[in-house]
């Protein structure tokens, strides 16, 4: 909380790890709000798109009539943060996915779905994350995507440091929109969520 005012940040609650993001946002001084309807989307200062199944969330956005309203709010500058499946949804191009999947065009990037492999290939590593103090971020990758192309206006925040995927882009920001391949909501490290709340949401929300 800052100066007694709390930003309202939605968590897209159609599928995925909604509860973990809700807890992280509350711990950062925000008021988390489950978003399933257009009216709920219209009432928040920013939105988190959680990890889960990107194609399922894409379909549910249509079913709940949220696809176009969410695209419009992003065009209007609403801050957003997507982790894992959320990163996929925020891209304007996705590789290795269904042809009928809908993206939100929130970040000028090409993302490869399940780039690191299947569930059994999940792993953890430490990442240097631009803009975050107090050492590297412990990153948990679960059927994670990676960024194959980042547009000219996209800031690369983190890359895989070593191994077969060394140098791969796994965290980006463009304007008010942030995305990570990994799941900071499951580690107890609040720095990525705090970056979103304090640097992206508060200034725009005027709180």
Three-state DSSP class for residue 99:
coil
The question of whether 185 is a catalytic residue gets the answer: yes
Contacts of 18 (CB under 8 A, 6+ apart): 11, 12, 34, 50
For 52, the 3-state DSSP assignment is coil
- Does residue 116 contact residue 146 with C-beta atoms inside 8 Å? yes
> Has 183 been annotated as catalytic?
yes
Catalytic residue among 20, 28, 84, 102: 84
Q: Tokens 């001084």 belong to which residue?
A: 29
Q: How far apart are CA 196 and CA 190, in angstroms?
A: 10
What's the farthest any 2 CA atoms get from each other in the chain? 47
Calpha distance 45→47 (Å, rounded): 7
Tokens of 67: 């696809």
**Distant-in-sequence, close-in-space partners of 151: CB < 8 Å, separation ≥ 6:** 107, 108, 109, 174
Active-site choice (21, 102, 183, 193): 183
Residue 108 to residue 93: CA distance in whole angstroms: 8
Q: Which of 20, 21, 28, 185 is catalytic?
A: 185
Beta carbons of 80 and 48 less than 8 angstroms apart:
yes
Residues identified as active-site:
84, 183, 185
């Amino acid at each position: 909380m800052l100066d007694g005012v709390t930003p309202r940040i939605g968590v897209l609650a159609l599928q995925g790890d909604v509860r973990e993001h809700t807890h992280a946002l509350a711990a950062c001084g925000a008021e988390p709000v489950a978003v399933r309807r257009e009216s709920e989307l219209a009432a928040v200062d920013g939105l988190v798109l959680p990890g889960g199944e990107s194609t399922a969330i894409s379909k549910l956005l249509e079913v709940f009539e949220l696809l176009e309203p969410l695209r419009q709010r992003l065009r209007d500058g609403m801050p957003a943060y997507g982790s894992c499946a959320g990163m996929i949804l925020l891209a304007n191009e996705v590789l290795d996915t269904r042809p009928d999947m809908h993206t939100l065009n929130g970040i000028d990037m090409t993302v490869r779905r399940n780039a690191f492999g299947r569930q059994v290939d999940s792993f953890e590593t430490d990442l240097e994350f631009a803009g975050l103090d107090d050492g590297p971020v412990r990153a948990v990758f679960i059927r994670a995507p990676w960024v194959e192309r980042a547009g000219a206006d996209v800031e690369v925040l983190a890359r895989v440091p070593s191994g077969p995927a060394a140098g791969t882009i796994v965290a980006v920001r463009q304007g008010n929109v942030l995305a990570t391949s990994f799941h900071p909501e499951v580690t107890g490290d609040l720095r990525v969520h705090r970056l979103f709340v304090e640097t992206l949401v508060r200034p725009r929300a005027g709180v």
